[in-house]
Structure 1
Amino acid sequence: MNRPDEFFIPDNEVKLSGELDYGRADLYISAVDALSRASCQSVYIIDYFKRDFLYVSPNRFFLCGLSQERVRELGYRFYLDHVPEGELPLLLTINRAGFAFYEGIPVKERKEWYISYDFHILDNGRKTLVNHKMTPLELTSDGRIWLALCVVTAATHADAGHIEMHHAGTSDFYEYNVVSRKWKKKRMPVLTDGEKSVLMLSIQGYTMAEIADKICLSTDTVKKYRQRIFVKLNVRNVSEAIVAATNSKLL
C-alpha cells in the first residue's frame, strides 16, 4: 500500500458538496482546539470531502516527533509513513468494516456511535500501541460522514486490532472479527460501587492500606477488589486499569 486514497472508499464518498459549510467547520476547529488545550487530549479532525486533516492538536503523543502543522500537511500520508507496513492492511480492513457498519445505522443515530481500535505508530523507529476512537462531527443529508473527530490515547491491550463499535449511552457494543469478517454483539464490563471507589482512590494516588482505611474495609478486601477490576478490564496493573476504565467510560 502506498497511496493515501485507498482509505477513501465509495461507502463514504461525500457527494453533496453544496451542503458543506466550512464556516461551521471553523467553529468545530475552535471547539476541538479548546478541548485540546483544556484536557491535553491528542485529537484531530478528518475532512472526508477534502480527504485531509482539517485540524491536528499540538499534543506530542500522536505527532511522532513532527509539528502539528506537518502532520496536518501530511494528512493520510501520515499513516503510510508512521504506521508499521504490516498493519496498514488492518487499517484498510477497519475502514471498510466501519463504514459498512454505519450503513446499517439510521442516519439520525449515526452521530451517537463511535469506532475504537488499536494500532502502532512509529516514532524514530520506536513502536507505540495507541487506541484510536473516531466519531462523526458532521454528516451530509444522505448520512455520509463529512467531518470526523479522532481521539488518540494509550492502548491497554498488548497487540493491534480490538475493533469495536459503541453506541453512546449504552453498555452494548459490537466487536469485529477480522477472520470471520463479522460483528458480534457484546456487553461492556460493569464495575461495582466498591470497585469504582477503589479505582478512583487509586487514581488519587492512595495506597491499598490508605484506601482500606478510607472506605472502612480490610486491606485484603481492597486487594480482592483490585484483582476483580483487573479481570473485568483484562489488564495487568492499576495504571492499565485506570486507562481502560477511562477509555471505556466506566468511571
Structure 2
Amino acid sequence: MRKTLNTKLLAQHFEFNPMPHLMLDNAKSIARMYSIMENCISVLSDLRTRKSYIYNGAVANLLGLSADQTEITSIWEDELLNKVHPEDLEKKYRLEFDFFQLLNTIDVADRTDYQVITKLRIKKKDGKYAFVQHRLIYVASSEDGSIWLALCLYNLIFDHPEFEIPQGVILNNRTGKIIKDNENRFGTLLSLREKEVLQLIKHGRRSKEIADKLSLSINTVNRHRQNIFRKLNVTNAMEACKVAENTGL
C-alpha cells in the first residue's frame, strides 16, 4: 500500500510560484511549535523535494528516538515508522491513500479543513508498545493544485478510560464531521456494476468482451471504465487493478 501511495504523491507536477521557500519556512515554524507545545514528534514533509524535517518533542525519548532536529532525504520518517505495529502501519497507509483521493476532489482552499487521525501502537525503547495518536494534515499546495507540504504529528495518548482515540478517521475540522472511518473507507467507493467491470478487466477482458459478458453496450462499459479511473484517481487499467487490490476492493 505504501508503494502505491508513494507513487501517487510523488507523481504530482508541483508547479510553483516564485517564492515557495517562504511558505516552507512558515510551515517549518509551525511544525517546530507543535513539537514544543504538545511534546509531540512533528514531521514536515516536502513532497516536491522529497525531504522531511523532523522536530522531536519529549515523547521521542520514550520511543528511543534522538531529541535532535533532523532533516532526511525522504518523505517517510522510517526511523519512527519501523517502530509501528505492522497491522497499524498498513491501516495508516490505506487511510492516507483514501485521504489523498478525497483531497483531489475538493477545492484547494478547503484542504486544510481536513485531517486524518489514526491510533497507532508504537514500540517504546523498553520493547513494549505505547498507544500514539497520529494526525496528518496537508498544509500547502502548489499553484497547479498538487499537494505539497504534509504535516504529521505523533502524540502520546493519555492513559485514562474516558479518553478514546478512533482507530482511524478522516475528519473535517471546520464542521466536526467524520468523513470516513477505517471500517467503511472503500466499501461503497465503486458501484456493484463497476466492481464487476473491474473484475473482468483484471482477468484481461477487453471492453467488447465485457459488454458481451454483462449484456451491456460497449459505450456503457467504456463509461464504467472512465468512472472507475476517476474514482480511483488512476489513468489506466493496470493501475486501477493495483489500487483496488491494495485497498481491499
Pairwise CA distance, 1:89: 2.0
- 1:190-234: per-residue Cα shift (whole Å, max 9, x none)? xxxxxxxxxxxxxxxxxxxxxxxxxxxxxxxxxxxxxxxxxxxxx
SS at structure 1 position matched to 2:35: helix
1 CA distance for matches of 2:151 and 2:180?
A: 21
- Asked if 2 retains the 8 angstrom alpha-carbon contact of 1:47 and 1:146, the reply is yes
Pairwise CA distance, 1:178: 3.8
2 CA distance for matches of 1:35 and 1:80?
A: 19
1 CA distance for matches of 2:146 and 2:187?
A: 22
Match of 1:107 in 2: 108
Pairwise CA distance, 1:34: 3.5
2 CA distance for matches of 1:52 and 1:126?
A: 30
Match of 1:48 in 2: 47
Pairwise CA distance, 1:23: 3.7
Match of 1:139 in 2: 141
2 CA distance for matches of 1:164 and 1:108?
A: 21
Q: TM-score, normalization: structure 2?
A: 0.59
- Asked if 1 retains the 8 angstrom alpha-carbon contact of 2:116 and 2:136, the reply is yes
Pairwise CA distance, 1:130: 1.0
- Asked if 1 retains the 8 angstrom alpha-carbon contact of 2:47 and 2:149, the reply is yes
Report whether the alignment pairs 1:59 with 2:57. yes
Larger deviation, residues 149-158 vs 29-38: 149-158
Map 1:15-164; keep pairs closer than 5 Å. 15-19=13-17, 21-54=20-53, 56-62=54-60, 64-69=63-68, 72-73=71-72, 75-124=76-125, 125-155=127-157, 162-164=167-169
Match of 2:179 among 155, 174, 177: 174
The alignment covers a number of residue pairs equal to 181
Identity %: 17
Q: In the superposition, relative to structure 1, how do residues 119 and 52 fare at CA in structure 2: closer, same or farther (>3 Å)?
A: farther
Q: TM-score, normalization: structure 1?
A: 0.59
SS at structure 1 position matched to 2:36: helix
- Which structure is higher in RCO with an 8 Å CA cutoff and minimum separation 6? 2
Residue type of the alignment partner of 1:175:
K
SS at structure 2 position matched to 1:82: coil
Q: In the superposition, relative to structure 1, how do residues 38 and 60 fare at CA in structure 2: closer, same or farther (>3 Å)?
A: closer
